[in-house]
Every structure is written in structure tokens, then in C-alpha cells.
Structure 1
């Protein structure tokens, strides 16, 4: 997994993996969640991938927009 830059210093996200039409996110508690086009919508996945690459805003976006629309919990 790629370490999340966490430019704000306050994110609950610590790492991510960008896949084809998906993103896996690891949170500070160690949980990993897979989000896909099918579970969260293609537009949301694209935005999550963009924010992950930027290193800012991903945790907020997940909590405010995507919420619990993950495909599955991996851990």
C-alpha cells in the first residue's frame, strides 16, 4: 500500500491502494476497506483516487460523502 501523505496531519487514513475502478483504504485503527465503482459509484471512486494522490481530504470525503458504501471490509 502507498503511504497517505496526510498533509493536514489529522487524517484517519494512513495508506491506500488504487486499483482499476477501485481504491482500498487503510485507516489509523488498522481496518482496510475496499471501495469500488459498483459500491460507491464511479464518480466517487475517481474523486477518492484523486484525493488519495493529493494526500489531503480523503478521510473527510469518505465520512461526508461515501460513508459506508464500501464493497467489503478486508481485515
Structure 2
């Protein structure tokens, strides 16, 4: 179940996220949803993304600067 991203800055390109045991699904404002997993992105990066998602701070920046297209698959 997707959780609305807090978007502390008010300028994020992220709309929602869903944390799963070995990954995180991220929905962007354009509606696209990408699944980032330990296998595709690395455990350390995914765990960082989970923390940023919960805090509502700088998840989009982290994705664009660190993981870019290292998603496992596009869900939508």
C-alpha cells in the first residue's frame, strides 16, 4: 500500500512510496512507479532511501544523485 510522501520541502518530484522487505517502490509526480531492490540498487542505498522516505526529506535528490536508473523494474 502506497504511503503519501511528506514532501517537507514542498518541491519534491515524489508523490508516494511503499516499503517492502528488500526494497522500496517510489511513485513520482508523473505517476510512474519504480521498484528499487537490494539486488538492483544495493542494500545500503535501499535502506537509505527507506529512511529518507519516512522522514519526507530529500528522497528525490538522493535518487537523482545516487541511484538514478538502478531500479529493478518499472511497475507503472
**TM-score normalised to the size of structure 1?**
0.99
Question: Which consecutive unaligned segments of at least 5 residues does structure 1 have?
Answer: none
Deviations 1:49-69 (A, max 9, x none): 000000011000000000100
Quote the offset at 1:2 in angstroms.
0.2
RMSD over aligned Cα atoms: 0.3
Alignment partner, residue 11 of structure 2: 10
Quote the offset at 1:47 in angstroms.
0.1
Aligned to 1:25, the other structure's residue is in SS state: strand
Q: 1:11 & 1:21 partners in 2: Cα distance?
A: 24
Deviations 1:7-64 (A, max 9, x none): 0000000100000010000000000000000000000000000000000110000000
**TM-score normalised to the size of structure 2?**
0.98
Question: Which consecutive unaligned segments of at least 5 residues does structure 2 have?
Answer: none
Aligned length: 75
Alignment partner, residue 74 of structure 1: 75
